[in-house]
Structure formats: structure tokens, C-alpha cells
Amino acid sequence: MPSVTFWWKPGCSTNTRQISLLRAAGCAVDVRDLLTEAWTAEWLASFFSGQPVAQWFNPAAPAVKSGAVDPAAMTPASALGRLIAEPLLIRRPLVEINGQRCCGFDTGWLAVQGVALGTGEVPEACSHHGSGAQVSCPPPVARTGKPQEPTPYSNPAAYVARPSGSSLP
């Protein structure tokens, strides 16, 4: 199975489940923090190939839900500037396999890249919707009042099962 680079929002339970699915499929997953990555416009744009600008944005982001940010009204250049300035707005995960890039957990795209996920539910939307919890996941600072402290749960590699024989740390 291929190696996967997976940019996530630390603590996102949907992204954690997606990482688990990739590892269960036999992929080596390099997990990176979407919020702290040093994005450039060209690099970030490479994940959105062929998608309308509105689909580049996380619909569960508080600024999008409140209407403070209207992705449909943005040009590609203004959208990239806003996403780089506020990475919490980026639709996640961002995924790279063998130099090919994708925005969102697209099972069809993953299959084309050679990733055969098991049958069953494949999470895409925020896990908090419909659970009685907050409608959107606030950023780590908003939830705790301080920057997120490293915990075993900050790094999915610390608690997500790996395929046998895996060389991951």
C-alpha cells in the first residue's frame, strides 16, 4: 500500500477515524498539523485541482457557518490568501499520495491511488454534527483558553493501531 501524507486538525475525531481507516488498509500514514504548516499559495492550490473555490473551505468552520466568510464570493487568489491566513478554514484533510494531492477524504480518489478501504462508513463531515455537541469544532485555543498542550491524543500515531509489520514509530 502507498505512503500517505495526511494534514489534519489535531484533535479532530473525524480525521482520527480517517487515519485509522488508512492504517487499517495497510497505508503508512505521515500525519501533519494543517494549522501550523507553512503553506504557500502554489502548494495549497495543488490540493484543490478542479474543485470550485467554495469546496476549498471547511463548511463547519465557525467563520463559514456564521456567514463571516462567503467562499462562493471569493476569487481563487483571495480564497488562497484567506486560507493561508486562517488555516482553520481549509477543508480537511489534505492528502498526498505519490505526489498526487486531494482535498477531503475522497474514497474514489483514494481508490485510484491504490488505497482499498474496507467496507462500512467512511467519515467525511464533522463528527460533532448531530451528536448533541457543538455544531462545529472550535480551534484548540478556543476550547481550552490556551494553546493545545501535547498529549497522546495530539498525535494519532500514539494511539491508532498500525498494521502488523509497520515500521512507523
What is the domain partition of the chain in residue ranges?
3-158
Q: Are strands 94-97 and 3-8 parallel, antiparallel or unpaired?
A: antiparallel
- The answer to whether residue 102 is catalytic is no
pTM of the model: 0.73
**Which pLDDT belongs to residue 1?**
78
**What is the average pLDDT across 145-156?**
38
For 70-124, the pLDDT digits (tens) are 999 999 999 999 999 999 999 999 999 999 999 999 999 999 999 999 776 566 5
Sign for the pseudo-dihedral over CA of 31, 101, 98, 105: positive
Which architecture does CATH list for 3-158?
Answer: 3-Layer(aba) Sandwich (3.40)
**Which pLDDT belongs to residue 123?**
60
For 25-77, the pLDDT digits (tens) are 999 999 999 999 999 999 999 999 999 999 999 999 999 999 999 999 999 99
List Cβ<8 Å contacts ≥24 apart for 132-137.
135/60, 135/65, 136/60, 136/61, 136/62, 136/65, 137/9, 137/11, 137/12, 137/60
Q: In what helix (H) or strand (E) does residue 61 lie, and over which residues does it extend?
A: none
Q: How far apart are CA 127 and CA 8, in angstroms?
A: 14
